[in-house]
Amino acid sequence: MEIKQMFDSLERILEKSKIGVLSTISANGYPNMRWMTPALLRGQTGFLYAVSSSEFAWTQSLETNPQVEWMIQTAPLQEIMYVSGRIQIIDNPALKADVQEAIGGYLQTFWKNMPDEASLIVLETVIENMTYFRPTAGEKVSVTI
């Protein structure tokens, strides 16, 4: 499977699921996972985006440990995509607007837990590796970006 096909698969799975699990490394070196709402943006190939708050302790640990892995899957687990890379924290009004436009309708829980709207940041995952997995078909393909 070519890189373009991998991104097409990722986009298709995201359109179906709207959510993913993000795994990060805490400040004390332990893995942490959380449900997130990721998005791909048109014209931004090679990146996966999400939003968070600069006030959350886990986002602060990203400066020390930026390596992450996403797991995004369809509900019946017919297709699973693993995306690994490094997260960059971006505080850019134009990018915030673009990401919120892409995923804003799926952030109800996030806004309830957001400490301060001014602390909104964009998490940009620079994709380094993608693995597409179809458990029922026994198909597993990886590409390095």
Q: The whole model's pTM is what?
A: 0.92
- In the chain (145 residues long), the average pLDDT of successive 10-residue segments reads 92 95 94 95 93 91 95 94 97 93 85 82 97 95 95
pLDDT given at position 117: 82
Phi, psi of 7 (to 5 degrees): -65, -35
| Domain housing 49 | 3-144
Tokens 């959380």: give the residue: 34
Which has the closest alpha carbon to 86: 131, 24, 10, 28? 24
Q: For 49-100, give the secondary structure using H, E and C.
A: EEEEECCCHHHHHHHCCCEEEEEEECCCCCCEEEEEEEEEEECCHHHHHHHH
pLDDT given at position 107: 81
- Number of separate domains in the chain: 1
Pairing of strands 47-53, 31-36: unpaired
* Farthest-apart Cα atoms in the chain, separation: 46
C-alpha pair distances (Å), 78 with each of 18, 35, 69, 137, 143? 15, 19, 19, 9, 19
pLDDT given at position 131: 98
pLDDT given at position 27: 87
- CATH code for position 71: 2.30.110.10
